[in-house]
Amino acid sequence: MAEPEGEQGCLLRDEPTELERLDKTQAVVKAAMNDRLILAPLDLSKPDLCILDSATANGAWLRDISTHLKSPYALVGADIMTSFFPSKAPPHTALIKQDFQVPWPTALYETFDLVHQRAALARSRSIPPKECVSNLTALVKPGGWIQLMEMDLTETDNDGPAAKDFLRLVVSMLEKGGSGLTFNIPGTMVAWLKDAELDEVREEMVSVPYGKSCSSEEIAILSTEASVQNVNFVCEAATRLGVDRPEGFVGSLPERYRQEIETRGGEMRLIVAMGRTSM
């Protein structure tokens, strides 16, 4: 999920490979969250819920949460890359082209019971990520929820040497890009939601086990494939950007990383920040 390069990151990837990786990651995150992808305390048994997923890619998150919703409901998936959208939108779903850095159509203001965005804030380049979040907040109905999910890039004692090297590489790339660690550390997104005067603001951490740390063989394989693909991509981008610290370590990282999660296991930590707009 680490996307340190900004918007170019996805644009430079081969689309089928990227969608395949996103689908695998979605399955792995879904398993880690016991299929409870919405942590905001929204009453999913209510009909007529209206939910937006910003930076939706192929809408996999919407597809998976829809199984918990009561008809009728309305889902909107928005992304800048319309080529990621499925050729036919799933039932009750509209897919729209929208750059989350530019103002959203005013017709969408205060229309959603839940606004969700995951693994995309690194793409805010033309305006600060905090402003993107504030624009998303404007789309929430009074009394509705916003839920943001981003990868935690801080190291912990649970990380093996290759995982630590990977995190450090991503941080070096963010520093080179001028942003450094911002929303990728616990506490930042919740602070933004508090500044936006939301209520019931809180943060939860989700640990997503990788490789040997997974209890299911199927998820162990999927998480290994998806995370190694991601490490490969980040290493390629680091080489292109001339970030290789210490020199030469990028070349060996994907293989070291694969070995580590296959033999020792690993995890991705997700920061989930949420808040409710006042009635």
Residues lying near ligand SAM in the complex (CB under 6 A) are found at 3, 7, 10, 22, 26, 55-57, 79-81, 84, 99-101, 118-120, 123
Whole-number minimum distance, CB 237 to ligand SAM, in Å?
13
CA dihedral 24, 26, 27, 29 (to 10 degrees): 120
What DSSP assignment string belongs to 79-133?
ES-GGGS-SSPPTTEEEEE--TTSPPPGGGTT-EEEEEEES-GGG--SS-HHHHH
Q: Which is nearer to ligand SAM, 212 or 269 (CB)?
A: 269
Order across the sheet with 93-97: list the strands.
93-97, 74-79, 50-54, 112-118, 140-151, 266-276, 199-210
What is the Cα Rg of the chain in Å? 18
Whole-number minimum distance, CB 110 to ligand SAM, in Å?
20
Q: Which is nearer to ligand SAM, 66 or 262 (CB)?
A: 66
> Which one-letter DSSP state was computed for residue 218?
H
Q: Which is nearer to ligand SAM, 26 or 184 (CB)?
A: 26
Whole-number minimum distance, CB 47 to ligand SAM, in Å?
26
Whole-number minimum distance, CB 92 to ligand SAM, in Å?
19
Q: Which is nearer to ligand SAM, 82 or 239 (CB)?
A: 82
